[in-house]
Structure 1
Amino acid sequence: MSKQTIRFELDRDHVKLDHLLKLVGLCDSGGAGKHLVASGAVTVDGVVELRKTCKIHAGQVVRLDDVEIRVVGAA
């Protein structure tokens, strides 16, 4: 089973979880992102996150199925 890692460069203080899923292409709308989060399929730093608009900051790791999103600060 291969894992895909996406590096997401954050250009502001935070991004909402549902919006992040849309920005990296794991869903095609914010609404779809909200459904993914509500379903319990998304973890943040290894913990299931059910808050759709949870603020994600640089240094956090979001996972959906076999895709890991590493959020990094802008250089």
Structure 2
Amino acid sequence: MTQNARPSPDERDTIDLQDFLKLRGLVETGGEAKFRVQGGEVRLNGEIETRRRKKLRRGDIVEYAGERLRVDW
């Protein structure tokens, strides 16, 4: 008998940076998110973040294109 793999509590409380940008409508596609993040156009908690799959947690602050958004859901 196999068990279904369940995400850990930490995994349920995170979102990838590129997915957050798409979800909030800051970019239109995953390709655009990749380009913007890897190009150094996005800040996470005041620091440039170039890892598009960086896991965001509640309370993180994302800055891009003049927008400043708090990660919260």
Q: TM-score, normalization: structure 1?
A: 0.77
Q: Distance in 2 between matches of 1:65 and 1:31?
A: 16
CA RMSD of aligned residues (A): 1.0
Q: 1:29 maps to what in 2?
A: 29
Aligned length: 62
Could you tell me how far apart the structure 1 residues matched to 2:55 and 2:32 are? 17
Residue in 1 aligned with 2:64?
Answer: 64
**Aligned-partner SS, 1:41:** coil
> Is the helix fraction higher in 1 or 2?
2
Q: CA deviation at 1:69?
A: 1.1
Q: In structure 1, what is the Cα distance between the partners aligned to 2:31 and 2:20?
A: 12
Secondary structure in structure 2 of the residue aligned to 1:56: strand
Name the structure where strand makes up a greater proportion of residues.
Answer: 1
| Larger RCO: 1 or 2 (CA < 8 Å, sep 6+) | 1
Alignment of 1:47 onto 2:47:
yes
Q: Which runs of 5+ in 1 are unaligned?
A: 1-11
Partner Cα distance (2:65, 2:30) in 1: 18
User: Where in structure 1 do 4 or more consecutive aligned residues deviate above 3 Å?
Assistant: none
What is the alpha-carbon distance in structure 2 between the residues aligned to residue 51 and residue 29 of structure 1?
A: 16
TM-score (norm 2): 0.79
What percentage of residue pairs aligned between the two structures are identical? 35
